Amino acid sequence: MSEPGATRHARHDRPARPSLHHVDERAPLATRPAADAVDGRRRSVRTLFAAWAVYWLALLAVQLWPAVVQWWAVRRREHGTITLSLAGDFSEGVAWFAIPPLVMTIVWLLWNRRKR
C-alpha cells in the first residue's frame, strides 16, 4: 500500500507544461525572431479583420437606426405600418462598403512595411 504523500510528491515531480509564450532557449537565435514576427503578423492581421468587422457593423447600425426607431414607435402603438426603402445610388453603397476597409488595409500595409 502506498502512502498518500508519495502520490502527491510524484505529481510535483512532473515537468511544468510550457506556456503559450514559451521560447525554447535551446533553439538557434536566428529562428526566434522569425517565429515572433509571424506571430505578430498573425495578431496584426486579426486586428485588421476585426477593424473591418467593427466598421461594417457600425455602418449597418447607422443605416438601420431610423428603421429601428420607426419599428419601435409602431410596436408601442400596436398599429401602423413600417416601410423600408433603399435610397441612394448603388455605387454610393458599394463605396461606403468597400473604400474604408481598403484604406485601412493600405494604411496597415504601409505601417507593417515601415516596422520592418
For residue 30, tell me if it sits in a domain.
no
Identify whether 106 is part of a domain.
yes
Residue 19 belongs to some domain of the structure: no
pLDDT digits (tens, 9 = 90+) for 48-77: 999 999 999 999 999 888 888 888 888 888
Long-range contacts of 50-59 (CB under 8 A, 24+ apart): 51/101, 51/104, 52/101, 52/104, 55/100, 55/101, 55/104, 56/97, 56/101, 59/96, 59/97
Question: Does residue 43 belong to any structural domain of this protein?
Answer: no
Domain assignment of residue 31, yes or no:
no
The number of domains in the chain is 1
Report field, pTM of the whole predicted structure over 0.85: no
Is 116 a domain residue?
A: yes
Position 37 scores a pLDDT of 58
Q: Give domain status of residue 32, yes or no.
A: no
State which residues form the domain around 68: 51-116
Mean pLDDT of the chain: 75
